[in-house]
Amino acid sequence: MASQKVQDFIEEAKVHFSKHEYKKAYETNIKALELLKQETGAIQQKKQWAEIYLGIVESLDKMGDWLRALEYAGILISEARNKNNKKVEIKTRLLTCQVLLNKGNWDEAGKRYNTTLELAEKAGSDPNIAECYYGQAYIDWRKGDQRAARFKITKALDLLEGKQEYYLEARTRILLASIEDAEGNSEVAIENFTSAIEQLKKLEPSEDLARAHNNLGEVYKGIDEYETAAKQYEQCVKVAKKVKSVRGELYGLCNTAECYTFNGDTAKAKKLVKEIESILKRSKEKYILAQVPYIKGLIAHQEKEYERACDYYDKAVENLKKIGSPPYDVGIAYLRKGEALKAQSKPDRASDAFDRAERNFKKANAGLYLKKLSESR
């Protein structure tokens, strides 16, 4: 009876996790763990122990409690090694790497991926090997080494071919598409984002699917196809609402507002900004809080209120730097400010803003926006 009750808690925790109720998922897994301890002191003798620990680590990771996530992961890795359970050890090590990525500890994550790759290769597990290559490629990308990232992505995709690992293949293609988009290879980016969306649609609706629609919209927005971009952002919002992802909903709404603005419909854009600000009252999403002044700047810019637009762009830059946003985002705000200053016939200040944009775009290897910058000058 106790074992069945433990399993009931495990299944309940999975339901909470699928609903993005991560704290409830964590608390339910802790109940399962305590009950298992009551049943037997040596909980490692029960097959459920690994499932519970993995659930705890995943929940803590989503909650941003990375230190405790790493602590529980360490316990599970140690026990898996003692029992010579390579499958659980590799799975937990991969999850540890993901926690470290989310924590922003690229160097340590890279070291862990190297160790895990050796274990996965000895076990002959292609999907796990592919996930290691994906993680290493992600780190290379974040460090600006696009060539190394591409090489590892290619190896990962070769290993995943025909394996029906839909989620991992989608993540890998999304990473490749992001690299191609930043370098101005829009057609290749669209192809890979579209492929990723097709893979994710084979699974249950998820925050990842919403994000993929959002990213595809970003590509179309970058090549000035605002109507097509808006359709992708609307799909992002639709999926995000379905899976109760406030973050995904906010990203989609922000980007839709941008598209409306670029198409000259500032009334619709202002309406969306009010909706975004209403949601932000209950969800303090830092990146969106930083982006709202940028959108307001775009609206003022479109309405030819250039001084007010510049004030908003300055606030956007300040906020984006404060939260450690990628240079790509900061560069775009400087670019728009330069355009607003140029429209006011203030060439010296415009040139300074454009120079700042250029420095940020070069840091991000953002070829498409370097081209846009050249056109704006």
Helix ranges (H only) for 206-245 are 207-222, 226-242
**19: pLDDT strictly greater than 90:** no
Residue 147 exposed, middle or buried by CB count within 10 Å (0-12, 13-18, 19+) = exposed
- Domain map of the chain by residue range? 284-377
Q: Report the pLDDT value the prediction gives residue 233, as an integer from 0 to 100.
A: 96
Q: What tokens does 324 get?
A: 């450690």
pLDDT tier, 104 (very low <50, low <70, confident <90, very high otherwise)? confident
Mean per-residue pLDDT, 298-304: 96
Mean per-residue pLDDT, 282-311: 91
Q: Report the pLDDT value the prediction gives residue 41, as an integer from 0 to 100.
A: 54
pTM (two decimals): 0.80
DSSP-derived secondary structure letter, 225: -
3-state secondary structure of 324: coil
pLDDT tier, 173 (very low <50, low <70, confident <90, very high otherwise)? very high
Q: Which residue has the higher pLDDT, 20 or 334?
A: 334
pLDDT in tens, 198-226: 999 999 888 899 999 999 999 999 899 99
Q: Report the pLDDT value the prediction gives residue 160, as an integer from 0 to 100.
A: 95
pLDDT in tens, 328-354: 889 999 999 999 999 999 999 999 999
pLDDT in tens, 48-76: 889 999 999 999 998 889 999 999 999 99
Q: Report the pLDDT value the prediction gives residue 11, as an integer from 0 to 100.
A: 93
Out of 33-37, 238-242, 310-314, pick the least confident: 33-37
Contacts of 141 (CB under 8 A, 6+ apart): 149, 175, 178, 179
Average pLDDT over the chain reads 91
**261: pLDDT strictly greater than 90:** yes
**121: pLDDT strictly greater than 80:** yes
Q: How far apart are CA 57 and CA 70, in angstroms?
A: 7
Contacts of 245 (CB under 8 A, 6+ apart): 20, 207, 210, 239
**Percent of the residues in the chain that have a pLDDT greater than 90, as a whole number:** 71
Asked if 292 and 318 touch (Cβ cutoff 8 Å), the reply is no
Q: Chain-centre distance of CA 314, in angstroms? A: 25
**307: pLDDT strictly greater than 80:** yes
Q: What tokens does 359 get?
A: 């420095």
pLDDT tier, 243 (very low <50, low <70, confident <90, very high otherwise)? confident
Q: In CATH, what number does 284-377 get? A: 1.25.40.10
